[in-house]
Copies of this chain bind each other. A is one copy, B any other.
């Protein structure tokens, strides 16, 4: 049984891991979301970090192995559940794309928090407005075009050889972008059909379908990494 440690009220980076665990039907506990009396809550995270010296969640525990950094967790879980390519070049490609999507996630966060994580959005609103222009006009197109090109080159998936863990990360990025930047997403998806199709294929997988409508899926909200502020979209 796996133990996932991640912030209990947002999708955030933990959601990439949750999606993979759900798809493969893994037996896992979302530890911090459990009641304190069942070993959950923030204390559980503090104890884990103090004993294993990880920097930040998500942290995955598998018996005596603990892993952090989302792409490394995805590579690890994918290897165990046939979603990491066995071929070493393709394995590195899946990891590369997982890291690229993690880089994109940082930029999607920093749009609404360009100055400091500790400050409120309202205290950096003007700066967020300025950063959103660059994000929408330069950054999203650059990333989306690269993803579309990869999917086109690899027969409908990000990496040669078929479905991999990176495709689940792509699904989550598209989900988050549709929530936080609906207008930009509609515009940019219109001429990137393969990206849209791959998102739809992941969404249609039975375990993903069941998960999305379950109460295990935390709704997007204004504490997460993807946040919907209409003034930043366009």
Range for the number of chain A residues in contact with chain B: 35 or more
**Given A115-B114, A130-B116, A131-B116, A76-B92 contact (CB < 8 Å):** yes
**B72, B100, B117: the one within 8 Å of A134 (CB):** B117
**B55, B134, B149: the one within 8 Å of A116 (CB):** B134
CA of A96 to CA of B69, assembled, Å: 6
A12 at the binding interface (Cβ < 8 Å)? no
From A138, which residue of chain B is reached at the shortest CB distance? B118
Contact with B along A113-154 (1 / 0, CB 8 A): 011111100001001001101100010000000100110010
Q: Verify A72–B53 contact, CB threshold 8 A.
A: no
CA of A92 to CA of B146, assembled, Å: 27
Contact with B along A1-44 (1 / 0, CB 8 A): 00000000000000000000000000000000000000000000
CA of A228 to CA of B69, assembled, Å: 30
Main secondary structure of the interface of A (DSSP, over half): helix
CA of A69 to CA of B94, assembled, Å: 12
Which residues of B are found within 8 Å of A115, using beta-carbon distances?
A: 114, 127, 130-131, 134
Nearest CB in chain B: distance from A10 CB, A: 19
Nearest CB in chain B: distance from A136 CB, A: 11
A71 at the binding interface (Cβ < 8 Å)? yes
**Given A55-B146, A100-B69, A106-B106, A127-B153 contact (CB < 8 Å):** no
Nearest CB in chain B: distance from A108 CB, A: 13
